[in-house]
Structure 1
């Protein structure tokens, strides 16, 4: 068993050096796994949620592990060992009962320390970056990967509405000790009424274009330069980052109302390849 504690004292910033995004149009073999139905039935029974038999029969959905593994060659080479791998998601993985971050570590050059960040909605990606920055800034590791993933199949009915993605999407971010600076702030306990003022205060003196989620643009109109696709509630702003097209720094901002999280990150815009087309 491997265990790890908090990183040491920071000696420098983490820096974003590459970002790639991809839509996965095909379904995953995991969606047809006969073990999926009884697993989900046991999972939702205490809460009285009905299973979506139509989705189970059609085999709809995708595995985070398969999506991220397919993107590994596009973000890091076989001779470039990685020290840290973090998986960030909001909706649960289609492949239940597996430690997907550890699975990815086994398939990544360097077999990095790996963990996942979840249960924070859209704030999970920012928390993953903040933790990654702490490890890289401490000097204890020199290269890290952050995968932000969402899949569009929820195989049971919800008692309360929640955003479900339109597409299976993954974004891979590569961070190192050398590269373009990554600045990150997270504000907690923020209700919707406070968002516009706090956001404008945080952006004071920063003329960089703002890539915002549809949620944030709704509660703070007029702030966003680019509004991410509402159909990609967890990867949308990161998809826009990976597309490139802006010169100089850009601000990424998101608001997670369920947790009162206002998250802001400023990065130098990268010269990136366009996202890979959807895989049929």
Structure 2
């Protein structure tokens, strides 16, 4: 068995080169795959969850692999090999039974080492960034992609309320050793009463003015801290879509809170002295 891991603590920060966000207006052909129903039925049967027959019949949903594959050319060219690709998601992929990160490695220039981060809710993207920071900062790779995706169809009734995205959305962050410095922080075991103070402390530690981009759930838990509140209908990609929107100056702090896990996450991007046009400024709706 082959195993790999970051070689040590990063000696220098990872740097954001570009970010691209896209909204996929249509569903994926995978949503009509006849194998989807029996596969899901086997998964949920032990937990007593009912399938959403209406969504299965209508063919609603989108494949993470198809979404990410469509975005790759907007971020890297065929002559720009990638060393690392990390896929981050919260809701399950529509294409079940496939290692999507490995599939994307085959579609990506350079056939990068690839893996996925999940089961952390909105914290998955931050963990993916933190791991990427370790690889880039230690010299283990030169170019990396972090892919954050969500699709709007949960084909079974959840055991407890869960945030369901309004749209199929993906964001790709391209990171290298040159560009806008990125740093990630994560607090665990955080209850709702501590969120505001911890977030204010994180902002204060920057020692300078920062634009705070927060998810809608974090803005509600920590009122008065956010400068920009992301679309509540995109619970896992909203803040990253705001980052990809472009036009940023100075320090930007992107933050989210996953109350079910007590996880408060922040990521700072320092655009000072960099070419702001390097960040893709369009969230594109695809027919």
TM-score (norm 1): 0.97
Q: Using the TM superposition, name which of 102-111 and 176-185 deviates more.
A: 176-185
Give the equivalent residue in structure 1 for 2:217: 215
Work out which of the residue numbers 278, 282, 285 in structure 2 matches 1:278: 285
Shift of 1:9: 4.5
Aligned to 2:234: 232
Instruction: State the match for 1:34 in structure 2.
Output: 34
Q: Which runs of 5+ in 1 are unaligned?
A: none
Q: Is the 8 A contact 1:8 1:140 kept in 2?
A: no
Q: In the alignment, which residue of structure 2 is the partner of 1:19?
A: 19
Aligned to 2:107: 107
- Give the alignment of 1:1-280 within 5 angstroms: 2-204=2-204, 205-269=207-271, 270-271=276-277, 272-280=279-287
Measured in 2, the distance between the counterparts of 1:50 and 1:58 equals 17
Moved beyond 3 Å, runs of 4+: none
Deviations 1:58-97 (A, max 9, x none): 0000000000000000000100000000000000000000
Show CA shifts across 1:85-111 (max 9, x none). 000000000000000000000011100
In the alignment, is the contact (CA less than 8 A) between 1:150 and 1:165 conserved in 2?
A: yes
- What is the DSSP-based 3-state SS (H/G/I as helix, E as strand, rest coil) of the residue aligned with 1:209? strand
Output the CA distance in 2 between the equivalents of 1:66 and 1:160. Answer: 29
Instruction: Return the alpha-carbon distance in structure 1 between the equivalents of residues 264 and 140 of structure 2.
Output: 29
Q: TM-score, normalised by structure 2?
A: 0.95
Does the CA-based 8 Å contact 1:211-1:227 persist in structure 2?
A: yes
What is the CA–CA distance in structure 1 between the aligned matches of 2:8 and 2:221, rounded to whole Å? 38
* Deviations 1:161-201 (CA, angstroms, capped at 9, x unpaired): 01000000000000001111001111111011100111111
The 8 Å contact of residues 208 and 250 in structure 1, kept in 2 or not, is answered as yes
Query: Structure 1 residues 227 and 276, CA, compared in 2 at 3 Å: closer, same or farther?
Result: closer
| Deviations 1:232-254, CA, capped at 9 Å, x for gaps | 00000000000012322211010
Segment drifting more, 65-74 vs 196-205: 196-205
